[in-house]
Amino acid sequence: MTAGFSGQVSDDHDVAHAAGGLLTEAWARIAARMKSEVGEVEYRTWLQQIVLGPVDGDEVTLLLPTRFLRDWVRSQYGDRLSTLWNQEIPALRRVELQVMRPGDRPAVATTEQAAPIVPGRRVVDVPEAPAPVVERVQDARSDLVAPLDPRFTFDSFVVGKPNEFAYACARRVAEKPSSPGFNPLFLYGGVGLGKTHLMHAIGSELTREGRVSVAYMSAEKFMYRFIGAIRSQSTIEFKEQLRSVDVLMIDDLQFLIGKDNTQEEFFHTFNALVDAGRQIVVSADKSPSDLSGLEDRLRTRLGCGMVADIHATTFELRISILEAKATASGVPVPAKVLEFLAHKITTNVRELEGALNRLIAHANLFGRPVTLEATQEVLHDILKAHDRRVTIEEIQRKVSEHWNIRLTDMSSARRARAVARPRQVAMYLAKQLTSRSLPEIGRKFGNRDHTTVMHAVQRVTELMERDTAFAEDVELLRRMLES
């Protein structure tokens, strides 16, 4: 016995009382609840297309346009939907997910305008959830839209010289997607410099009003989803899903190197979306032209819009980031500690952040103020791993190149200032950047005595205080050696 829900639910059952409007209302609440739980983007991609079907006994049927969507919704949201239905109407104990029959299959619809209508049933218009409860279940939902991390916003991104251009481009795309010249937006830079952060910020900004559908995923996930679709013979649905979004963001594109079929698929998706006036945002660890291993035509297209690189952080930017995060935490962290961290952890903002978080957690836990000593103790392991592995040979080479002297002069007996001064700087840097002792350093500089090294360190320190141009030179060398 299967009945359409509007007034045709079997009379002899409790559910009969829930007929018609009541059922629709219950479904509206469930849909709103799902929306607030999974987030706007995920909701629009997977759940919005659900059509309320018939009720039969203790079972309610929900209809989906494709097998692919049905399977996905069943595996990812099936249990939750059952629970919510049961909470709304205790007599309903089971949820059956079905593919619509060809006759009532709606047009592919991910947007409100293209709402599928099945006679006798209607798409429930989901009222706005009361407040966007961010209560995302951290399960391995390997779906099209990874939920956006609510912490990665434009406001929480600290802007400095190395990232200001990328930031400005990201903002621009978030304000006006698909503007000529900004499509695709290609963000590139080293690990932990904020590429993912900026992409999430664009996504959050665009979906805040709920008008634009955004799909964000890593290139790796793209590949797995694609392979999965091939296996389950649902590539058409996969393509339809991808091509129905307004903004597609693919993170860490370098992952596709050597994955020819996936690259090909991405290339076609890319073209289809751009041709349809949709926005693409891509990130990678290198510029399009340096991504050898990606097909030429794809590289060419990737470089056609706006290419923005995020440079390695400077000491100043690292300090600003630490200051912002320390302030946000509410735990006072002395400037000395921030400077110490910014000096020690230079390559990756994620690690810098991790170190600071650990300090703050420690301070909170033990109720002790953050001090330099505590920092060295608490971060012992991290700092050790970051102990610069610069060699004295490297320092000598860089310094000789910088002042244009011969490498052999680092250990020669010549005392002319043109060679003696760079040699002192190299000793100073060796003391600063390596864990070698003064006698060890002396030996590497033509078997000089440790007092000579000590004198060099003092001399360079004094000079740096007096002569800013000289100090800048030394700082520059230090930075080059550290990176």
196 near Mg ion, judged by CB under 5 A: yes
What are the structure tokens assigned to 65, written together? 């346009």
- Among ligand ADP, Mg ion, none, what binds residue 375 when CB lies within 5 to 8 Å by partner kind? none
H-state helical runs in 39-185? 40-42, 67-88, 164-175
Q: Which stretch binds ligand ADP (CB under 6 A): 111-119, 131-139, 187-195, 288-296?
A: 187-195
Residue 194's binding partner among ligand ADP, Mg ion, none (Cβ under 5 to 8 angstroms by kind) is ligand ADP
Measured from the CB atom, is 153 or 235 closer to ligand ADP?
153
Per-position x/- string for 362-391, each x denoting binding to Mg ion as judged by CB under 5 A, each - no binding: ------------------------------
Min dist CB 150 to Mg ion, Å, is 16
With CB cut-offs between 5 and 8 Å by kind, which of ligand ADP, Mg ion, none does residue 191 bind? ligand ADP
Burial 448-459 (b: 16+ CB within 10 A, else e): beeebbeebbeb
54, 194, 422, 442: which one binds ligand ADP (CB under 6 A):
194
Interaction mask 146-185, ligand ADP, x per CB under 6 A: ------x---xxx----x----------------------
Q: Would you state the structure tokens that stand for residue 280, as one six-digit string?
A: 């693409």
Q: Is 183 in the site for Mg ion (CB under 5 A)?
A: no
d(CA 332, CA 387): 26
Within 18-57, the residues that bind Mg ion by CB under 5 A are none
Q: Residue 56 or residue 205: which is nearer to ligand ADP going by CB?
A: 205
Within 10 A of 226 (CB to CB), how many other CB atoms are there? 21
Long-range contacts of 315-318 (CB under 8 A, 24+ apart): 315/342, 315/343, 315/346, 315/479, 316/160, 316/161, 317/158, 317/160, 317/161, 317/162, 317/163, 318/342, 318/345, 318/346, 318/349, 318/352
> Under a CB-based contact definition with an 8 Å cutoff, are residues 124 and 87 in contact?
no
Taking the complex as a whole, how short is the minimal distance between the CB of residue 177 and ligand ADP, in angstroms?
20
Question: Judged by CB under 6 A, does residue 444 bind ligand ADP?
Answer: no
Residue nearest to Mg ion (CB): 196
CB neighbourhood size of 15 (10 A): 24
CB of 352 to ligand ADP, least distance (A): 7
46 in contact with ligand ADP (CB under 6 A) = no
- Report if residue 350 touches ligand ADP, rule: CB under 6 A: yes
**Comparison of 191 and 335: residue with beta carbon closer to Mg ion:** 191
374 vs 61: CA distance, rounded Å: 60
Q: Which is nearer to ligand ADP, 67 or 350 (CB)?
A: 350
For residue 238, give the nearest of 229, 228, 246 by alpha carbon: 229
Q: What are 102's two structure tokens?
A: 């060809």
Chain centroid, CA 5 distance in Å: 44
User: Does residue 354 interact with ligand ADP by CB under 6 A?
Assistant: no
Q: Is 349 in the site for ligand ADP (CB under 6 A)?
A: yes
Residue type at 382 in one-letter notation: I
Coil, helix or strand at residue 13: coil
For ligand ADP, how many residues bind (rule: CB under 6 A)?
17
The C-alpha atoms of residue 353 and residue 341 are separated, in whole angstroms, by: 10
Residue 432 interacts with Mg ion (CB under 5 A): yes or no: no
List Cβ neighbours of 167 (8 Å cut-off, separation of 6 or more): 154, 157, 159, 198
**Smallest separation, CB 238 to ligand ADP (Å):** 25
Query: Using the rule CB under 6 A, is 398 a contact of ligand ADP?
Result: no
Nearest distance from C-beta of residue 196 to Mg ion, angstroms: 3
Which of 36, 66, 196, 241 lies at the binding interface for ligand ADP (CB under 6 A)? 196
- Report whether 480 contacts 473 (CB < 8 A): no
Whichever of 30 and 349 has its CB closer to Mg ion, that residue is 349
By CB under 6 A, is residue 221 in contact with ligand ADP? no
User: Residues 56, 62, 65, 66: what is their CA dihedral angle, to the nearest 10 degrees?
Assistant: -90
Q: Which does 240 bind (CB under 5 to 8 A by kind): Mg ion, ligand ADP, none?
A: none
Q: CB 173 → Mg ion: shortest distance, Å?
A: 17
- Report the residue number, 151 or 336, with the smaller CB distance to ligand ADP: 151
Q: Is the peptide bond before 119 cis (omega within 30 degrees of 0)?
A: no
Question: Hey, what are 450's tokens?
Answer: 């440790």
Residue 191 in contact with ligand ADP, rule: CB under 6 A: yes
Q: Does 216 bind ligand ADP (CB under 6 A)?
A: no
**Closest distance of CB 349 from Mg ion, Å:** 11
Q: Is 126 or 253 the residue whose CB approaches ligand ADP more closely?
A: 253
Residue choice 174, 193, 284, 337 for contact with ligand ADP (CB under 6 A): 193
The DSSP code for 97 is E
Q: Which of 372, 375, 380 has its CA nearest to residue 361?
A: 375
Cα(361)–Cα(327) distance, integer angstroms: 14
For residue 349, the partner it binds in Mg ion, ligand ADP, none, with Cβ less than 5 to 8 A by kind, is ligand ADP
**Whole-number Å distance between alpha carbons of 421 and 403:** 10
Binding site for ligand ADP (CB under 6 A): 152, 156-158, 163, 189, 191-197, 321, 349-350, 353
Binding site for Mg ion (CB under 5 A): 195-196
